[in-house]
Structures are given as C-alpha cells and as structure tokens.
Amino acid sequence: MVHLLVGLNIAILLVLIGALVKMQQKHFSFSKRVFAGLGFGILLGVFLQIAYGAESGIVAQTTDWYSIVGRGYVRLLMMIVIPLVMVSIIQSIINLEKTSELGKMSGWIIGILVATAMVAAVVGVGSSLAFDLNAEQIEAGQAEQERGSFLEERLGEVEGMSTPQKILQFIPSNPFQDMTGDRATSTIAVVIFSAIVGIAVLGVRRKNPEQAAIFIKGVHAVYAVVMRIVTLVLRLTPYGIMGLMASTVAQTNVAGILELGKFVLASYVALLVMFVLHLVLLAFGGLNPLTYVKKVLPVLGFAFTSRSSAGTIPLNISAQKNSLGVDEGTANMSASFGATIGQNGCAGIYPAMLAVMIAPTVGIDPLSPGFLVQLILIIGISSFGVAGVGGGATFAALIVLSSMNLPVYLAGLLISVEPLIDMGRTALNVNGAMTSGTLTSRILGKLDVTKFNDRDAIEKDIAV
C-alpha cells in the first residue's frame, strides 16, 4: 500500500512536469514558468502535508524521489559554479583595459556588501527588540539540546582562529583543492586564483602578445562552452523549483513554526525591511526599484527554495547581465563575492538577532552602546567567508557569538524553524549580491540603463 501511494505521488509530480513542458512549448515566458513551478510545488507540498503528515514514512519516501528533480537541479548548478566563476573572472579581467579598473570594481562590490551587512545587523537588533525576543522564553527539547551540543562542537573549529588567520583562509594554497569546494572559503579562493591568472595574462599581453592571444582565444572558447552549459541547466529552473518547494512544504514542522512564531515573524520583518533598504539604495542610484524587482524575482524564488547562495551564482550572473544590464565583469565579481562575503541575511540579521536574544541570559544589557557597537563591528568583520550553502548562517553565528563571549548552545533552540527562516535569509543574501553588482556597475558608468529599463529584457537567453 505504501509503495502504491508513493507511486501515486510520483505520478502527480510527473503530470505537473508535463504541464510545465506544455507551457514551454506554448512559449510562456521564463518568469511565468518559474512562478508556475513555485505554485505547483507549494500546492503539491500542502497536499502531501494534509494527506499524510510531515513525519509520515510515505512523505519521506516521496520526497526522496522528488529530490531527484529538486536537489538534482541544485547539484547541476553547483557542478557549473566553479568552472563558471573561474572562466568568467579570467575573461572579465583580460577584457579590462587597465588593472586599476579591477581594484575599483572589487572595492565597490566588497564595500557595498560589507556595509549593507552591518546595516542588516542594526535591522536585526531593532527587530529583536521590537518583538521583545529572549532566549529564556524558548523551551528546549531533546532535538534542541542535541543541536546546542553540536554547535558547541563546531565552535571548537573556529574559536581558536584570530581575524588574521581567518583572512588567510581566503588565500588559495592549493587551487585544485578549492575547485572541489572543500572549504567554506573555496569560492573566494577560486576567485582570487582566477584574478591572479587574469592579471598575469594582462602582463603577458604587454610583453608577449602572440602567446597571450593564444591563451585568450582558448579562454573565450571555454567561456562560450561553459555559458552554453549554464543556459542548458538554467532552463530546468521551473522543474527544480517545483521539486524543492514540494519537498520543503511537505516536510515543514508546522507545530515548531507555531511555537516559535514570534521569532519567525521577527526574522521575516527584518528580512523585508532590509530588502526595502536595498531598493532604496537602487532608487538613490537613479534606478526604478519596481523594474528591478520584476527582473530578479525568478532568481530570488530559486534562492528561496534552494537555500544556496552558491548554487544561485549562475542564475545571479545571468540575471544581472541579461536582465539588469550590468556589465559582465561586475556581474561575475558581485555574484561570486556575494556568495561568501557580506551576506545580509546569514551574516548580518541572523547573528545580530541571536546575540540580542542571548545577551540577557548572561546578564548583558543588549541596549548598551558598547555591546551594540562591538556587535556591529564584529558582524562586519566576520561577514567575510560565510559558506554560501545551507548552514552558512550557523557558521556566522558561531563566530559572532563566540567573539561576543555569548553561549552558543542557546542557538540550538531554533532548530525547528531554521529551514523556514534560512529560505528568506538566502533570498536576501542573493538580492544583496545583485544590488551590489547593479550599484557598482552604475557608479562606474558601465550599467546598460536601456537594458535595465527594457521590460522585455528578462532572461531572453533562457526563455526559449
């Protein structure tokens, strides 16, 4: 009977996949198909939740099959992240006329990412205080206690590292190891290695243009192939989002959300406020926020369901170039840096909210200026190198809480709602990266404003 029901659930998913295929054949826009996939996934997840319950063995087996579509798509995206980052960064640099342009571009991108992360910390503090959040109000069950113990174990991995040692983690000692994604800072390490290669090519081009031309021709050829792979994978986005959303909704712990509803609400209020602040920055840059929102929604939808900033890099780059009119170099840099630096949700809002919640349990006034200034500065510094996959917020929280001498085990109290909040955090992280890229391109005078304002310029290369 169980196998029959699981087979029925798989059949429903296949029917919905068929519906998305029909939409593509009838030339529905890419955005419409993405949101159709999102809607189908939510409805399917609600059906599974109501029919069987989140803890049901049928749901567990069904979502195992659904993960072929959902997590399989994420794995395909992760597959192309490192090749895309490498070849994109190298090509971006060899297309520059002066190496000084690279410094300006990187400086603005990183500056905007870190500055907005610090602003996000202030927003997180404000939301925690407004909702009167306190870690003492939350009861700890067995799962929460186990999570707390796990966090204390993880703390041992990062507690002994000084700030200079953390910075050293960005520098690649073995680029081939970092190409496997072995470390939390692997993406940045690959970016740095690729930048060095690009700068070296510029030097060779000045001294031996013939040899440089051969290498550059090869880079352009590899770039064309990689971008074709990216296009092929991104066309699967509606199906991947549907599979991810169905599994997420079906397995959501409704009781845990109700119990910690105030924290969930406070988190999403903070995320929404920070998202609005991103739009305000764009408005100050002379860009229409509503046009921006319309063009980035498919990317944010995937980030929300996948909970992976790194996995969203290909979509991020594509949207910036094809929809927003950001120049290629800035789009590549901002998407790559934004996956591990200055993540507004994971490295800004979340650690700040935890710190304010936990401080009263050890007799610290979270409103004291000394505490707040220290917290914001630490968040700004620690926002470098946060892993761009699900769980990166935990790493950021460990660094911030341990630096503030706050007990990390209390963070385990929020385990039941972590996935739900992490979805919103990841979407904000990705939006921060796209905002930094758009603003940097605008500041440096490289933004194609005509394309930005073109309502039809939404993933034209993918929509077919």
Q: What are the domain boundaries of the chain?
A: 2-453
Confidence grade of residue 443 (pLDDT, cut at 50, 70, 90): very high
Segment among 5-19, 170-184, 400-414 with least mean pLDDT: 400-414
Q: Are 406 and 359 spatial neighbours (Cβ–Cβ below 8 Å)?
A: yes
Q: Which residues pair with 384 in a beta bridge?
A: 341
The share of the chain scoring above pLDDT 70, in percent, equals: 85
> How far is the C-alpha of 275 from the C-alpha of 344, rounded, in Å?
9
Task: Summarize the confidence of residues 189-216 as an average pLDDT.
Answer: 87
SS3 of 341, please? strand
Instruction: Look at the alpha carbons of 352, 353, 357, 360 in this order and tell me if their dihedral is positive or negative.
Output: positive
Q: Are 268 and 66 spatial neighbours (Cβ–Cβ below 8 Å)?
A: no
CATH topology of domain 2-453: Proton glutamate symport protein (1.10.3860)
> How far is the C-alpha of 456 from the C-alpha of 459, rounded, in Å?
9
Answer whether residue 307 shows pLDDT above 60: yes
Segment among 54-63, 166-175, 211-220, 300-309 with least mean pLDDT: 166-175
Kindly report whether the global pTM for this prediction surpasses the value 0.85: no
Answer whether residue 305 shows pLDDT above 60: yes
> How far is the C-alpha of 231 from the C-alpha of 459, rounded, in Å?
10
pLDDT single digits (tens) 370-387 = 889 989 988 888 777 565
Q: What is the pLDDT of residue 16?
A: 93
Q: What is the pLDDT of residue 280?
A: 96
Answer whether residue 143 shows pLDDT above 70: no
Q: What is the pLDDT of residue 452?
A: 92
pLDDT single digits (tens) 47-71 = 998 888 877 888 889 989 999 998 8
Segment among 184-193, 210-219, 447-456 with least mean pLDDT: 184-193
